[in-house]
Amino acid sequence: MSSNASGWLSKPFLTSILLGIGGFLYGYDSGIITPSLALNSFLTYFGNPDAPLRGAIPGSAALLWVSPVIDWDAGEPSLLDLRETLADFEPVIMGRLLVGYAVGTITGVAPVFGAEIAKWLRGDSSSLSGPESAKASGTTLTNGDSASHSRASQLCSSVLAFSWSALFRTPAFRKRLFVGSFVWAAAMLSGISFVQYYQTTIYATLQFSQDQQLLVSGLYGSVGPVACFLSLFFVDRVGRKKILVCSSSLLSVCYLIITILAAVYPASPGFPTNEAAQRGLIACIFAVSANYSALLGPMTWIIPPEVFTTELRAKANATVQVIHYSISLVITQCSPIALAEVGWKYYILFILTNAICAVIFALFYPETRGKSLEEIDEIFGDVKIVRGADMNLAEKAGVEEVEARRSTAE
């Protein structure tokens, strides 16, 4: 492939498709486990687990990635053997741990890898493998330019010398870490993982049959990709801050409507159900998916690479993903328990979390759309850019001061 290829065959486009595997795996993982939780045969096969154990099935996918160590080589074969031979609940959890590690790793690495690929690091036409990370290749792919080689060496040295404690060393770094982390925290507190994994449980409270639950969950799964595709046409035309505030506000409204419908028109066994209320509740659940996929969801992948500097990016993104999966673990583990204990009142939590996130976005988040690296540095207080207008004003002030001194001397 020519390095100068453009359009659909360009290396940046094909690399983006490859990096998108992280998102595909994330969706495939939740797409498999969600309908499984609605199948009576699945639950019966594993002894009809109670609410805490049901929460552990999807929640365990996040658990292993946030743990510090995994013995991959020793663990993988035995886990696969257990999964194939035992009809126990423990192998399912262990299998989910393995899946969670794989999904968590690729979703954590892909944004960093994508952000580090510079135009001059994309390889040549004879290369059969993908481009290396900027940190790994910076000292070798310098086009024979000594100045370029020196800059690449300095870049690698700064990245390798950057410690974990440096993330919190300066106010600018702390602000960057907050901005990159909170957008993921807001995404998980939006309740999307709760809706994604336990939508069939919500449908069951509406007295839907198993076939109806699976049908609606299948339709739900088609909403996200369409909404995410539509975001491509406006994500760089509308400010990041506006998208975040709008998304969290609308999500809060959606959960408010869901709460009202679930409280006013409860579906009880043996009693007639309000079909209009059922359709309205399902429409709101679909609206939550469309909103997240088109607005808040894409921002979680866009904002962290924008605000993290090169030396900050790898460790900061790892911290962000730990926060992401930690909150996801809590939500997925506690949701079935909360639904069983308090029912529709659980939805109030997401009304409040989304409203609070909207306020935080509005008050504390900077606008980064269309900003250069230097402008983003200035936003976070790393540097002060001296612009042409500032120079002109300074020169004018200097001339006026000199003239004033001369007139005083005369």
189/298 Cα distance (integer angstroms): 15
Q: Which two tokens stand for residue 141?
A: 């792919």
- 348 Cβ neighbours under 8 A, 6+ residues apart: 255, 259
Q: Residue 410 falls within a domain, yes or no? A: no
Residue at 57 is within a domain: yes
Q: pLDDT tens across 57-102, in order?
A: 555 545 444 444 333 343 334 333 433 434 466 666 676 667 667 6
| Distance (Å, whole) CA 321 – CA 180 | 10
Whether the CA torsion 399, 405, 409, 410 is positive or negative: it is positive
Distance CA 310, CA 117 (A): 11
- pLDDT band of residue 27 (cuts 50, 70, 90) is low
Model pLDDT, residue 73: 40
Assess if residue 268 is contained within a domain: yes
Under 8 Å between Cβ of 191 and 285: no
| Number of domains the chain contains | 1
Of the chain, the percentage scoring pLDDT greater than 90 comes to 22
Name the pTM for this structure.
Answer: 0.70
The per-residue pLDDT for 46 is: 66
Query: Does residue 395 lie within any of the structural domains?
Result: no
Q: Which ranges in 117-232 belong to alpha helices (H)?
A: 134-137, 146-161, 171-189, 192-205, 210-231
Mean per-residue pLDDT, 372-398? 65
Q: What is the DSSP string of 82-126?
A: HHHH--SHHHHHHHHHHHHHHHHHHHHHHHHHHHH--GGGS--TT
CA distance 236 to 15: 20
Query: What's the full length of the chain, in residues?
Result: 410
Q: Report pLDDT for 319.
A: 86
Question: Cα-Cα-Cα-Cα dihedral of 81, 85, 89, 92, to 10°?
Answer: 40
- Give the number of other Cβ atoms within 10 Å of residue 347's Cβ: 25
Quote the domain boundaries for residue 296: 7-121+172-379
Average pLDDT over residues 166-173: 81
Q: What value, to the nearest 5°, has the Cα angle with vertex 111 and ends 110 and 112?
A: 90
Letter for the amino acid at 309? T
Rounded mean pLDDT of 387-401? 53
Whether 187 is in a domain gets the answer yes
Tokens 């700064």 label which residue?
A: 158
Q: What's the average model confidence in pLDDT over 383-400?
A: 53
Residue 299: CATH number of its domain: 1.20.1250.20
Domain-embedded: residue 217: yes
CA atoms within 13 A on the CB side of 42: 12
Mean pLDDT of 316-342: 87
Q: Which of 305, 300, 22, 35 is nearest to 188 (CA)?
A: 300
402: confidence class by pLDDT, cuts 50, 70, 90:
very low
Higher pLDDT, 74 or 322: 322
pLDDT digits (tens, 9 = 90+) for 183-205: 999 999 999 989 988 888 888 77
The residue type of 26 is: Y
- Crossing angle for the helix pair 11-19 and 89-116, to the nearest 10 degrees: 160
For residues 95 and 32, the answer to whether their CB atoms sit within 8 Å is: no
* Domain-located, residue 91: yes
Burial 292-313 (b: 16+ CB within 10 A, else e): bbbbbbbbbbbbbbbbbbbbbb
- Helix, strand, coil proportions of the chain in percent (round to 5)? 75, 0, 25
Tokens of 344: 């529709």
What pLDDT was estimated at residue 227?
93
Is 233 a member of any domain? yes
- 266 vs 128, more confident: 266
- Per-residue confidence (pLDDT) for residue 80, from 0 to 100: 39
The tokens for 286 are 């679909």
pLDDT tier for residue 252 given thresholds of 50, 70 and 90: very high
